[in-house]
Structure 1
């Protein structure tokens, strides 16, 4: 395979990348201080961002505001909902999401086009195009992991919450106490809801927002049950005990569904890893057992 066209395509892509980054530095008028004493910077969540995301954000930053302004209200809400469902990984915002998408289209789209123009392997171009969805894939994975964590933590959280409310503590104070004593994704979400209520938002609106941020059926059922108990005047402690019991059964069913989804994957991995070795062993044993002259078959 002639690697010269591929090398030329990669070099061209690097030139485009350097040119776009230079344009960004020119537009942002970035200055590098040389006389200031060097101090150890404080690491933040943005410093731990995947390096490819940092590169795409830097490329897309000069154009993000104009692209974001061109999006409709529905599209901006959809982006914000997906980011919230993923738990705002690395402090991601809608503007930073747009920056990443612009950078991904610029880098990987240009690379795929150069690979196709240089008559290289179309598989490499397809691989480059697949990287254009890196941010969306990351959000999807984070959303699924967050839903699993919420599903796992919810039964224990509700058990402790039911005991705390039964002890005579108010619902809002009990939620705050349990959230402080059981750190995790679910505690963070309830803490946000409590802060919203402290700012004047009603309990119904705060819990509706909690339900929208987390795409989890069990949590949605919990919010619905709490709202119905509040409207009907049912004892909150008994309601929490019943919800906790239902969540235990729902969690068991959820884990069984997850195990059933893993069975085909395990079967596929087993087939891919064991089948070639078994075929080689069977065919080799047949040739050795029949004493066939391989040199004659292969024309040796």
Structure 2
């Protein structure tokens, strides 16, 4: 029986290697990857396998779904790290990895004691949805972190633009000077992209509109709308940007105040579930020992 199982495992490995070799021959060679940013360590490890399946997935992807994934990758700051089809392949590889880990833990669950068997089976089955959902969870967290940095750094950009415009520069020249003096971060990356697009012939209105769609931050959309409105009506742009910067800081202060007010409610559940039981045990256990030694418990039992 063991020899038969071993034979099936070897046959499965051979078939998998033959399939990978066939996919490698069909993969288009000579692709230029100079456009990519530095890849994360985990993606660098799995990228050779991802590349074998990516072009097959790309041929079958729905255009609307591709655009949706592209937008999410750009919002997470990884639009120049991986393509949408590579993200889909990574998600499927996570599912396969979860299934493999589940199958590896199942024999251990069968040999475990009856008290641990159900827990090990539940842990093994948990690897399957975790492997499938991990890429999406990682991307969602990347989007939230990046949007938080944009909301934090964007008022500083507006202040720099206002200062340079008050010194006599136009909005386009002030934007270039401000971007060069920004600290490294998502705002600097996005504004440099806006400058590149305007230099290649894209109108400033369209470049700013793309910026608002890429970031998905309401503060950026409001500023872009205010700039477009000022250009249409001939309003004073420096004053509008200064008021927008003050408004963004006020909104950030209100968000921080709201989170501070929510903190006690969020701490209530860990306090009730963890701290109170421990405190109760520390107080009651010595009393229980004394009552047992003195024979007081015999009166109740």
233-242 or 115-124, which deviates more? 115-124
Residues 13 and 190 (structure 1), Cα distance of their counterparts in 2 relative to 1, 3 Å cut: farther
Gaps of 5+ in 1: 1-11, 30-43
Partner of 2:180: 180
Partner of 1:156: 156
**Structure 1 contact 86–143 (Cα < 8 Å) conserved:** yes
Partner of 2:41: 49
Matches within 5 A, 1:56-75: 56-75=46-65
Q: Deviations over 1:123-170 (max 9, x none)?
A: 321233212111111111111111111111122221221111111111
Gaps of 5+ in 2: 1-7, 26-36, 111-119
Cα distance in 2 for partners of 1:269, 1:13 equals 47
Matches within 5 A, 1:228-267: 228-267=229-268
Cα distance in 1 for partners of 2:122, 2:160 equals 57
Cα distance in 1 for partners of 2:270, 2:20 equals 45
80-89 or 268-277, which deviates more? 268-277
| 1:216 to partner: Cα distance | 1.4
Partner of 1:209: 210
160-169 or 112-121, which deviates more? 112-121
Q: 1:95 aligns with which of 85, 88, 99?
A: 85
Q: TM-score, with normalisation over the residues of structure 2?
A: 0.77
* Coordinate RMSD, CA, aligned: 3.3
Cα distance in 2 for partners of 1:17, 1:195 equals 49
Secondary structure in 2 matching 1:88: coil
Residues 255 and 261 (structure 1), Cα distance of their counterparts in 2 relative to 1, 3 Å cut: same
Partner of 2:96: 106
Cα distance in 2 for partners of 1:213, 1:17 equals 43
Determine if the alignment matches structure 1 residue 280 to structure 2 residue 281: yes
Q: TM-score, with normalisation over the residues of structure 1?
A: 0.77
| 1:25 to partner: Cα distance | 5.1
Q: Which has the higher contact order (CA 8 A, sep 6+)?
A: 1
**Structure 1 contact 13–107 (Cα < 8 Å) conserved:** no
Q: How many corresponding residue pairs?
A: 269
